[in-house]
Amino acid sequence: MKLQIGLLFVLLVSGATCLTAQNWPQFRGTNANGIAEGKPTPTKWDAEKNENLAWKVEIPGLAHSSPIVWQDKLFVTTAVSSDPKSVFRSGLYGDVDSAEDMSKHSWKVYCLDKKTGKILWQQIAYEGAPKTKRHIKSTFANSTPVTNGKYVVAFFGSEGLYCFDLKGKLKWKVDVGILNAGWFFDPDYEWGTASSPIIYKDFVIVQCDIQKGSFIAAYNLKDGKQVWKTSREEIPSWGTPTIVEGKSRVELVTNATKAARGYDPLTGKELWRLKGNPEITSTTPIAAHDLIYICNSYKERFVAAIKQGEANGDISLKAGEKTNSAVIWSLTNSGSYQPSPLIYGDQMYICNNNGALSVHNAKTGERLYQERIGRDGGSFSASPVAADGKIYFSGEDGDVFVMKAGAKPELLSKNPMGEVMMATPAISDGMLFIRGQKHLFAIAEKSAPKETAAK
């Protein structure tokens, strides 16, 4: 009976999402849905005591980019400062200050063996002084790389877009210009970019929302030549675009301050827009149950579920409206600021920066429960991910919380990592890959603990 229930759960989840167990090719895996089924994943570990720690590798520099996985290889990026006093501060606070570290940096891409953590190659994409400043809670390597199994593309904002083959050979690079993504009220406060590149067919697509001249563009994966570029009437935003492959059409969905938008990914033509977002947006759209989900916080905390393939033109809600012909449901005072939401089964999990978790029926928007993760406060920037009937929440303070998926709250474990964590984990073949401030960790059940892997 337990086996039957487990199989039924997997089938229900796979009905809402399509993801292979082996590969985790971009930010939050395939189409950013944050789910990897196929093998049992760890529930309990202690990285400080080497419990269920498969390997641990030091990655120099400062970066919030997440690891990605393709078969037996893992890729991660970083930016290494020549200034040993470079400032970074995590936690819950509202400062708008920029870091003053404009010293020489090295922007790097690493390739590691997934099973052992051995560094297979590392390449310097760019060296020099940063072209813009960053927020004191940010880094110069926020964007997660993306791969299709043939190419690995890393985006370093103003420092450019770089494409390598899986052996580390540089295939091409593109200068996308100076991307000043800062506080729109005062351009002197520069915060840096964070949107990650994505791949659709033979295109790599980047969303660049900045102070002036915002755009979204597609480049040919083979040679880096621009395929299309669409101007956007936007101020800075930090979310990653998402490909939504619906029954009637494919939509490239973006989240930003003035509007969430849908585009034709082959041409860059705008299909629809939904206005009403807050002043700062950093979450990534997701899709499930034939719906597209937009989630934001900061002030309005707006959440909306849009019908896939049916939105056209301006679908904005009028004053007093909660729904219309394209928006099937919407909520206020429910969204998240930095962590993107997660749809797992029939539930939508929304985690705010302070650890307040709001769980809703993904089809109707009905709130099922509200709970503070760990019940002891803390700060959360990483987005939740899921596998094996469990939800993983990485806290900035150094703990990963594991909750049982479902309509009722049940905390399964609290797992210490010993480091500040800002990046969203990756999952592949039952292993968790978690990036801390200094190290990259691989967590696996019943593994033989090792010290730092060979470099």
Residue with the larger pLDDT of the pair 116 and 446: 116
What's domain 2-443's architecture? 7 Propeller (2.130)
Pick from 19-28, 142-151, 269-278, 442-451: least confident:
442-451
**What is the reported pLDDT for 376?**
72
Q: Is the CB of residue 243 less than 8 Å from the CB of residue 290?
A: no
Q: How sure is the predictor about 92, in pLDDT bands with cuts at 50, 70 and 90?
A: confident
Which of 90, 89, 109, 112 has the alpha carbon at shortest distance from 100? 89
Q: What is the DSSP string of 37-56?
A: -SS---S--BGGGTBTEEEE
Q: What is the mean pLDDT of residues 182-196?
A: 90
Which of 282, 252, 294, 296 has the alpha carbon at shortest distance from 181? 282
Pick from 9-13, 43-47, 315-319, 432-436: least confident:
9-13
**What is the reported pLDDT for 22?**
81
Q: What is the mean pLDDT of residues 339-356?
A: 96
**In the chain, where the domains are located:** 2-443
pTM: 0.92
**What is the reported pLDDT for 187?**
81
Residue 206: count of CB within 10 angstroms of its CB: 26
Q: What is the mean pLDDT of residues 208-213?
A: 96
Structure tokens at 366: 């009905």
Pick from 14-28, 127-141, 185-199: least confident:
14-28
Q: Would you say residue 296 has pLDDT above 90?
A: no
pLDDT tens for residues 360-392? 999 999 999 999 997 776 899 999 999 999 999
Q: Look up tokens 């970019």; give the residue.
A: 193
185 DSSP assignment = T
Q: What is the mean pLDDT of residues 423-437?
A: 97
Q: What is the mean pLDDT of residues 293-316?
A: 90
Q: What is the mean pLDDT of residues 204-227?
A: 97
Q: Is the CB of residue 56 less than 8 Å from the CB of residue 439?
A: yes
Q: What is the mean pLDDT of residues 196-218?
A: 97
Rounded to whole angstroms, the Cα distance separating 220 from 226 reads 6
Q: How sure is the predictor about 451, in pLDDT bands with cuts at 50, 70 and 90?
A: very low
Residue with the larger pLDDT of the pair 341 and 446: 341
